[in-house]
Amino acid sequence: MYNNDDFIARSNWLSSCKVVYYNLFSRMYGIVGSCAHLAMVNSSWTQSHIEQLWSIPQRTKRVYPPCDTSGLQELPLERPAEPAKIISVAQFRPEKAHGLQLEAFAVAIGKLDAHFPRPKLQFVGSCRNKADEERVQRLKDKAIELKLDGDVEFHKNVMYRDLLYCIFCYPVNFQSNPRALLPFFCNKRT
């Protein structure tokens, strides 16, 4: 769906060839990886994956990069929940299914009682290239088409401190007019 051209996806023979190719590549990857003296991974999922492919569990170590968490420790644990918000943090890539998230959000909004406050949906992510930028524009267009443009926000390429601000401070500081200050707090990108 995300990495097949239509002509490959429609062809059983080409799809089968692709599966054979991936299996062959996976085995070669496993052989080469099994020669590693030490493999360092950064998550339990990756550790399990590498151990399965490379068969070197005794030489696979999970490590986490050092992160400064002092800023996170200063954030308040309790925040106002009005308006409710849903934050989706992911690169703007096809496999992240942002369009599906928009459609699901539209269905959820449609089922709300009229007196219930409408939640906000924030997409926060990075754009690697022009194709990602175009993808964001298509998502904005889709939000308008679904009549969600007032309920959905897009934050592109925000810096870490601005991501924290969007996650932890938005409901407190942006209740009256969120779009007025957004460019200032989110690295002048909307």
Distance separating alpha carbons of residues 23 and 48, to the nearest angstrom: 18
Q: Which residue has the tokens 């200063």?
A: 74
pTM above 0.75, yes or no: no
The CATH H-level (homologous superfamily) assignment of domain 79-185 is Glycogen Phosphorylase B; (3.40.50.2000)
Residues 6 or more apart in contact with residue 29 via CB below 8 angstroms: 53
pLDDT digits (tens, 9 = 90+) for 60-112: 999 987 777 777 777 777 766 667 888 888 889 888 889 999 999 999 999 98
Q: What pLDDT is recorded for position 147? A: 93
**10-residue block means of pLDDT along the chain (190 residues)?**
71 90 94 95 91 94 80 70 80 89 92 86 91 95 94 90 71 33 37
Token digits of residue 146:
């679904």
Q: Cβ atoms within 10 A of the Cβ of 157, count?
A: 16
Greatest extent of the chain over all pairs of C-alpha atoms, in Å: 63
Q: Where are the domains of the chain?
A: 6-62, 79-185
